[in-house]
Every structure is written in C-alpha cells, then in structure tokens.
Amino acid sequence: MPMNAMLMTVLLVGATLVTMVRLLLQHQLTLELREQGLHARGEVISVRRSWLNARHRIVEYVFPLPDGGEIRGEYKEHRNGLLSQRVSEGDSLEFLYLPDNPHRHQRVGAEVGLFTVLTGVFGMVVLMSLAIILLMNAPSKKAPAPRGPTPSRYIRNYDGPSPRAKPPPPGEKRQLGAY
C-alpha cells in the first residue's frame, strides 16, 4: 500500500473523528444550557476581519455576571449572503451560561441542535467510508522490474565443461581453466 493513500486515510479519518467529537460536545453543552443555563445580556466590544479568511469577521464580546465579574469571548461570523445579520460594536447579544462554570456559555441562536448533529454524523460517516474505500483500493506496492536482460531458462554452470564439448582425449592433460 502506498504511503500517500495511508497518509490521506489517516488524515481524513482523524479530522472526521475530531470534528465529530467537537460537534457532539457542542450539542451536549446546548442540552446542559437548556436545563440549567442562566441568561445574560452582553455587548459587542469590537469587530475585526479575520486575517486567515477575509470572508470571516471576529466578533469580540463581554457579558456581566451577577457577582460583578465579566466573561469575555469571541466568535467567528460568516458571510452567508443577504439574510445574515451582521453585528457591529455596541450591539446587544444574549447568552446562556452555566452557573457553576460561566466560561461554558453559548450565544442564543448559535445552539447545536439534534438535526445539525445527525446531519454532521451522517456526512462524516460518508467521508470515513470513502477513506476506507480509498485505502482498500489503493494499489499495492510491487517489486521493481529487473534491470538489464532477463536471464535464460538454461543457466550454464561454468565450473565444468559444457555438455556439448568433446571429452579430452585420454592421456592429454589440460591446464585448470583452459576449456
């Protein structure tokens, strides 16, 4: 099996598994926040363009906690077309956070629902199936072709006289190696 097919399969399966775990963890956080999350109203403090991808904007926000502290964070905003709502500095945002760990929070409207999880898992199963098919159908490594002419079926032994040669007459001595 070539190294390229193996490497591609490992990367594809690894990336798929990492994405699937992250998706399931986000869904688990959504379920926890629905059961025990507290509401907070926050504010956008800055919006900047992503230097990796110009179509994304990084939105930084802050929201206060009842004990007087505040939680700061950021999220990526994608340009989805005409219907996307783009926020600007000073806009209000609503959050859900866990009372025992406020750093585990989500923006209201950015929850990961069951349909999203099922769609993502289905897509990732398809990708993993393609990776396995790629791995199974990869050509196996073959021995390199021999260089030079192919040896004859009849290999002669040069240690003794050829079977076609006449035997030496009796009484004549030959030197070793003179045939």
Given a cut of 70, whether residue 13 has pLDDT beyond it is: yes
Region 10-20: mean pLDDT is 82
R_g over Cα of the chain: 36
CB environment 47-79: b (16+ within 10 A), e (fewer): beeeeeeeeebebebebeeeeeeebeeeeebee
More confident residue, 155 or 69: 69
Q: Which of 34, 45, 7, 14 is nearest to 105 (CA)?
A: 34
The share of the chain scoring above pLDDT 70, in percent, equals 72
Q: How far is CA 39 from the centre of its chain?
A: 36
Highest mean pLDDT among 8-17, 30-39, 170-179 belongs to 30-39
Residue 142 has pLDDT above 60, yes or no: yes
Q: Residue 51 — very low, low, confident or very high, per pLDDT cuts 50/70/90?
A: confident
Region of poorest pLDDT, from 4-13, 49-58, 90-99: 4-13
43 has pLDDT over 90: yes
What average pLDDT does this structure show over 129-150? 71
pLDDT of residue 15 exceeding 60: yes
Rounded-to-integer distance, Cα 57 and Cα 76, Å: 6
Give the C-alpha separation, 127 to 110, whole Å.
25
Instruction: Please check whether residue 42 is in contact with residue 94, taking contact to mean a CB–CB distance below 8 angstroms.
Output: yes
- Residue 25: partners with Cβ closer than 8 Å, 6 or more residues away: none
Nearest CA to 110 out of 97, 89, 100, 95 is that of 95
pLDDT at residue 117 tops 80: yes
CB 106 within 8 A of CB 33: yes
pLDDT of residue 60: 92
- Is pLDDT of 129 > 60? yes
User: Is the pLDDT reported for residue 156 higher than 80?
Assistant: no
Tally DSSP H helices, then E strands, for the chain: 2, 5
Tokens representing residue 82 in the block: 């005409």
Average predicted confidence (pLDDT) for the chain:
79
Task: Indicate the SS3 state at residue 67.
Answer: coil
Tokens of 164: 């076609």
